[in-house]
Amino acid sequence: MAKWDIEPAGVQGVVRSTQAAGRGFERVGKHYSRGAKSAAGGAGSPIVSLAIVHFASHHENTLPHLVKQTMSSLGGAVKATNAYLQGDLEMAANAQRNAGTVAELAPRRR
């Protein structure tokens, strides 16, 4: 049986730092197209310009997909942690509710 030991504060820290790093990807993504066009225009060679244009076109959706996948992973981590915590709360409530209760005993036979 798997043993779980999740520290919510640790998960929160990882999620926050990953979100902060993700903001950098957003900035890069906004400048990607402009940078590729500038590089193609300044290449000084039609073949190199064409290669840059094809490369940029081919990878145009890579960065947005990476950001979406990262956000989906972060959302999954948060949901899993919340479910883990909810399970702990349910177990604690059940234990508290059952504390001090005694099951009915069958009458003794003589």
Residue pair 1/81 in contact (Cβ under 8 Å)? The answer is: no
User: What's the structural domain count of the chain?
Assistant: 2
Q: Residues near 81 by Cβ (< 8 Å), separated by ≥ 6?
A: 6, 8, 11
Question: Within a 13 Å sphere around the CA of 6, how many CA atoms are in the beta-carbon half?
Answer: 19
The CA-atom distances, in angstroms, between 85 and each of 4, 28, 37, 44 are 11, 36, 49, 59
Average pLDDT, rounded, for the chain = 83
pLDDT at 54: 92
Same domain, 39 and 67: no
pTM of the model: 0.61
Average of pLDDT values for 28-40? 83
Same domain, 70 and 56: no
Same domain, 76 and 51: no
Q: Confidence band (pLDDT; 50, 70, 90) for 61?
A: confident
Would the pLDDT of 3 be above 70?
no
Same domain, 72 and 50: no
